[in-house]
Amino acid sequence: MESAALTLPTFAPEQPALPAILNDKIEQAAAYARAARAGATRRAYESDWAIFTAWCAAHQLVALPATPEVVAVFASDQAVGGLNPATIGRRIAAIGHYHRAGGHPAPTALPTAGRLAEVLAGIRAEHGGAKRRKQPADAAALRNMLAGIEGDGLRAVRDRAILAVGMAAALRRSEIVALGVEHVGLVPEGLRLTIARSKTDRAGAGAVIAIPEGSRIRPKALLLAWMAAAGHDSGPLFRRLSRSDALTGDAMSDRAIARLVQQHAAAAGYDPTQFAGHSLRAGFLTEGAAQGATIFKLQEVSRHKSVQVLSDYVRNAELFRDHAGQRFL
């Protein structure tokens, strides 16, 4: 008698609702990806992509996906139009970003991108050069700008505080407008300013910056004057004012900081085109290096990840200090 073959029961695995699950996961991942890219970069990419698509439409060319040849001609047109290589490079990066987001390889990554690479190299060789930096608002410039702000109205008090704190903490303009009232700590020595998130701190670990009381620029006194005048105890620290100088609940924009710096530079007798929002941050580094601060003490305030940029400030400040030819020239 043959033994009956043992038959094991089989179970059809249930099919999970993967599409719905994946859609949620994909959306969550996309949100993280958007957050990882700085807001200023995102806006610049959006603008660059709009310029590229408009150019393609005007020339009856396909923008997505674009061939490397099309991108090469676009880059050449931009260079002929007077754009600097750095801006052109950013626009090429934006084109690549939107291609990848649309499921296409970036034009620069295609096997046929050799000609595009040659065009970009030629643009850098022909139009490249030393990076033109805006003038720093060092201690002398900042004192002149502060002295040029007349009156004790809300706008005048706010602008003085922004200039003083922005320079004293070597803040980026995006960091200035992101400050909240809760980020200000008062101590006998001055201020403890919490930077909750910054360009180089995508994880949001935060940093605390010490600002001395000061006897010349007096950042603590000017900030306290603004907080007393505004009378707000929560929310954005530096707020937008209406046309009639009434306080609003909205934070200022980073572009408003740049305009503010240029406005007060002009009022102090400087060429406003030589100044920008970054002038406050650069002003601290320039003045600190000139006063003999080490790279590492500068880095404590500026929070640069690399000391390479800081070394340029120190080197510039020491060009004539202990010069090799000082004793015989």
User: According to CATH, where is 1.10.150.130 located in the chain?
Assistant: 29-122
Q: In the predicted model, is pLDDT for residue 299 greater than 80?
A: yes
The model's pTM: 0.64
Pick the CATH number of 29-122 from 1.10.150.130, 1.10.1040.10, 3.10.350.10, 1.10.600.10: 1.10.150.130
The residue-averaged pLDDT of 304-327 equals: 77
The pLDDT tens digits for 217-252 are: 999 999 999 999 999 889 999 999 999 999 999 999
Pairwise CA distance, residues 31 & 25, whole Å: 10
pLDDT band at 82 (very low <50, low <70, confident <90, very high): confident
* Nearest by Cα to 120 from 146, 84, 150: 84
C-alpha 134 chain-centroid distance: 15
Residue extent(s) of CATH 1.10.443.10 domains in the chain: 139-317
**Cα 97 to Cα 84: distance, rounded to the nearest angstrom:** 20
Q: How far apart are CA 148 and CA 160, in angstroms?
A: 10
pLDDT at 46: 93
CATH number at 139-317: 1.10.443.10
Q: What integer pLDDT is reported at residue 176 of this predicted model?
A: 96
pLDDT tens digits for 42-56?
A: 888 999 999 999 999
Q: Would you tell me how many other CB atoms lie within 10 Å of the CB of residue 127?
A: 15
